Amino acid sequence: MIQLSTTLNPFTISFKKNNILMMTIHLASDSEPNLRTDSSSVTAEFPRFILNLNLLADHWALTISPAESLVEIKIELPGFWYGHGELIHQQFPLNKLMLQSSPLHTFDNGPTGLSGKLNPAWFSSNGTLIIADSPVEVCINQPPEHYPRYKWSFSSEGRGPFSHRPFLDEKNEGDDRITIKGNALNLKFFFTENVIQAYEKQVSYFGHPTETPPESLFEKPTWTTWARYKTEINQEVILDFANEIIENKFPYHVLEIDDRWQVYYGDLDFDLSRFPNPKQMIDELHHKGFKVTAWVIPFLDPQSQAFAEGEKNDWLVRMKDGSPYLVEWWQGRSGLLDVTNPSALEWFFRRLNQLQVKTGLDGFKFDAGEACFLPAHAVTHQNIHPNEYTKLYVDAVAKHYQLTEVRSGWKNQHAPIFFRQWDKTTSWGLDNGLHSVLTGILALGLAGYPFILPDMIGGNEYEEKADAEMMIRWTQLNALLPAMQFSLAPWDYGKESAELCRQYANLHTEYAPKILEIAKNATENGYPIIRPVFWLAAEEENALTCDDQFLLGDDILVAPVLFAGMRYRDIYLPPGNWQDHWTGKIYTGPMIIPSYPTPLDILPFFERL
């Protein structure tokens, strides 16, 4: 039973459960409200707006009226915080960071640290869940005003380092609040027993997939051209890459043909100067045992035939004068597919299907789709909030394809497809490097997305270069995740890299039946495949704050090495009996194993007895 208490100046509403504080709402105002309250409702009439809080079947609903009322509330939330989705500087739990206030829009490399897969829900280790049902700006643990603000740009100038997006709260400078701001706020509050039940409430609200992606995507690694070749691809390069994979005896399944297989973006035909016979190439790859996919975006080059056809039929996002809006993306300016128009989507997928019939392609890798690419003053067939662009795009992809992946998501938890992490930097840290692969997987799992494709092993080598140790440790981390993705070739980094990366790619295939079993369970219970350690110890601080280990289901605990040169690490084991995979030794948790040996060939992991 929740007990409410209020104060007038400053105005607050506190929620207690068994005399334990669960949450406090703070609302700044120049005047005291006219207040009416009882055990199941609060009405606070301010000069500019009215706040209503009501107890419904299983939650409390807070609404602000009238619709044009812009209101900011600060939420004091005891415990450790989770939720929100994918960030560039991915700390875990959220209390560790300071996220500056910004619209909660899906982003490609957002200026405050927002990325492509977000969820308007936040929950605490004390069992409280907050869901925003209206468009909002969000601030987490607000930093002082002197902290810099960055711009969204595809150049590095003014964009700030990954370690600042969001900032790490090293000096406890944040305000220790979650701030939510918006017009006509509509928030829901659930009060459960612990963090696991809060997650379960979130799943019941947003839904979960009821079928898995194709099993083969779990079983063997995907290989893609991007990180190794960037745009320097052609038919000979693709076939040589496939032969190298086979010659080096790595497991494989899908080979993705990434950027620059087209002449113009938007035209869904192979560039015959680079790919003189794409069907022959794909037939040969099929003969070698590969499935083949190609990279697709919703952008259309103004020089493309597709742009002209899209302009003629109003299938592109438009300016107010009716002309196509040329939006900025990482390859310049292009038209943007209007995904709110059913005819535009039908045209888009019909042409993709024609390409498959013509060439034998098995599926597609869908890139972009974030809200940041929809200009604020753009005109679309249906008037939408920018995040709805992401939702419509991803839902349409999921409807048409299973052998696929996307990198954006907004309330798409039900989609039975793989969601790829944002492009990782070739570095070790939480600032979009190797460590953030793990914290990002945890964050996306807790946002309700079980089928996560980690980005390419070793990162993208945009500026920094990988070395053998990084390749080995990155492969080890990926070995017991739902799927693996290579692009950088481990054999390019020496014999030891090739041997150990092959060993751990094969370990993934060995554990694929277990991963698939957990994936199928996720379609029934909505649980993540990759779980935080607190899943087995919801009351233990060591578990609630652990950001360098994970659970595969409930019975496999993995403690990867995430730092260069590390040859020992401490390992936390939650309650239960755990058997070391390598030595067979049995440990009884909860406990910490100090200085566990981690030579370069060892990924520590344990199985629960």
Tokens 């406090």 belong to which residue? Answer: 24
The CB-side HSE value for 245 (13 A sphere, CA atoms) comes to 27
- 361 token code pair: 């392609």
pTM above 0.85, yes or no: yes
CA distance 568 to 330: 41
pLDDT at residue 9, rounded to an integer:
87
Burial readout 161-191 (b: 16 or more C-beta within 10 A, e: otherwise): ebbbbbbebeeeebbebbbbbbebbbbbbbb
Mean residue pLDDT of the chain comes to 97
pLDDT at 256 over 90: yes
Contact (Cβ atoms closer than 8 angstroms) between residue 224 and residue 261: no
How does residue 50 score in pLDDT terms, banded at 50, 70 and 90?
very high
Q: What is the pLDDT of residues 575-598, one digit of tens each?
A: 999 999 999 999 999 999 999 999
**Angle of helix 468-479 versus helix 434-446 axis, rounded to 10:** 20
Q: What is the mean pLDDT of residues 178-207?
A: 97
Q: What is the pLDDT of residues 484-525, one digit of tens each?
A: 999 999 999 999 999 999 999 999 999 999 999 999 999 999
pLDDT at residue 587, rounded to an integer:
98
Q: Please, what are the domains in the chain? A: 2-206 (no CATH), 215-299+332-526 (3.20.20.80), 533-608 (2.60.40.1180)
Q: What is the mean pLDDT of residues 304-327?
A: 98
How far does Cα 37 stand from its chain's mean position? 40
Q: What is the mean pLDDT of residues 283-307?
A: 98
Q: Closest Cα to residue 277, out of 326, 319, 238?
A: 238
- 552 token code pair: 């595969």
pLDDT at residue 30, rounded to an integer:
81
pLDDT at residue 156, rounded to an integer:
78
Q: What is the pLDDT of residues 109-167, one digit of tens each?
A: 999 999 999 999 999 999 999 999 999 999 999 999 999 999 998 887 889 999 999 99
Q: What is the pLDDT of residues 546-561, one digit of tens each?
A: 999 999 999 999 999 9
Beta strands in 260-383 (DSSP E): 291-296, 299-300, 327-329, 332-336, 363-366
Q: Closest Cα to residue 125, out of 196, 54, 57, 228?
A: 196
pLDDT at residue 161, rounded to an integer:
96
- Under DSSP, the state recorded for 337 is B
pLDDT at residue 106, rounded to an integer:
98
Contact (Cβ atoms closer than 8 angstroms) between residue 533 and residue 587: no
Q: What is the pLDDT of residues 329-349, one digit of tens each?
A: 999 999 999 999 999 999 999
Q: What is the pLDDT of residues 363-380, one digit of tens each?
A: 999 999 999 999 999 999
Q: What percent of the chain has pLDDT over 90?
A: 97
Q: How far is CA 8 from CA 26, 36, 51, 71, 380, in A?
A: 10, 11, 13, 17, 44
Q: Closest Cα to residue 401, out of 348, 454, 358, 442?
A: 348
Q: Bridge partners of 71?
A: 182
pLDDT at residue 419, rounded to an integer:
98
How does residue 29 score in pLDDT terms, banded at 50, 70 and 90?
confident
Q: What is the pLDDT of residues 440-453, one digit of tens each?
A: 999 999 999 999 99
Q: Which helix (H) or strand (E) holds 35?
A: strand 34-38
Q: What is the pLDDT of residues 485-494, one digit of tens each?
A: 999 999 999 9
pLDDT at residue 583, rounded to an integer:
98
CA distance 485 to 505: 10
How does residue 28 score in pLDDT terms, banded at 50, 70 and 90?
confident
The set of residues, in sequence order, having a beta carbon less than 8 Å from that of 599 and lying 6+ positions away, is 567
CA distance 176 to 5: 21
pLDDT at residue 62, rounded to an integer:
98
Q: Closest Cα to residue 490, out of 227, 275, 284?
A: 227
Tokens 């002209």 belong to which residue? Answer: 308
